[in-house]
Structure 1
Amino acid sequence: MAVSLGVFSGMRFVAAQPHSGNLLRSVTMAVHVPRKGLGKPGRLLVTSATVSETPSSPKVRGIMKPRKISTEMQAICGVDEISRTQALKQIWAYIKENNLQDPENKKIIICDEKLKKIFAERDQVGMLEIAGLISPHFLK
């Protein structure tokens, strides 16, 4: 099945996707369409083609990779292994659930006992500091 993606200054872009069961996922081709009177009618010239395959299992890396965390962080997250992004989501959920943002300046977090253990015993933390302060709690 081929779908025309449009014509742009004499070039027609076509995307094709074969039936399922084939390893080929998608094909994109740039097809040169001659202007009227400049070429033989009914002929198209393929100038480039690319084939892309979807990887079978993408590797999880960086901040998306689950890692073991300290017991202080486990008290808030509830698991012993979590990714940085999910840990930040859990911490923000805890902050909002317990209404720990300063009412006058929402960028300031007022720490309770659990958060003090994570945020180096500080009473207040800026919201941009949270990502840096949780780094020591991810074990290697």
Structure 2
Amino acid sequence: MNEIDLDVKKFARILGKLEEHLEVSDAFEDAVVGQSERRWSSQREHMTSWFRGQRTTGSGAYTRNKPNHSAKRAYNRLQSPEGLLWIAEALGADTELVRAAADEALAAKPNQSRCAVIRRHLPWPMIAELATSRTRWRRR
């Protein structure tokens, strides 16, 4: 079975229309990232920028040999547990599922382990289905 993939630019547009601050992902971010360490006004800003930037070769510590057009690849490589949670919550994933992923991820260290825990609860096929169902709903 082929999984749904989206172009990163389209996925960034979808994310850019979602709620900026949400209960579970904001609480998780407060628990793992200090206020002084935040470089974004919201995870919506962070994630739309991240996915949009995938279409380039990046810069600084985020360079890559060639642009990435796959939102699936970008999601599965993303090392931002607070971003992963926000994406799922903002797209309308079940709140209890998002909360369970956040709770389990809080107990995990280092950051890569937190991301793996979250993706185990909130895998790309679920995210892609939520994203595509939102765009189908909006076209009606």
TM-score, normalising length from structure 2? 0.24
TM-score, normalising length from structure 1? 0.24
Q: Flag the structure with higher helix content.
A: 2
Instruction: Say which structure, 1 or 2, has more relative contact order (CA 8 Å, 6+ apart).
Output: 2
Q: Flag the structure with higher strand content.
A: 1
Q: Which has the larger radius of gyration?
A: 1
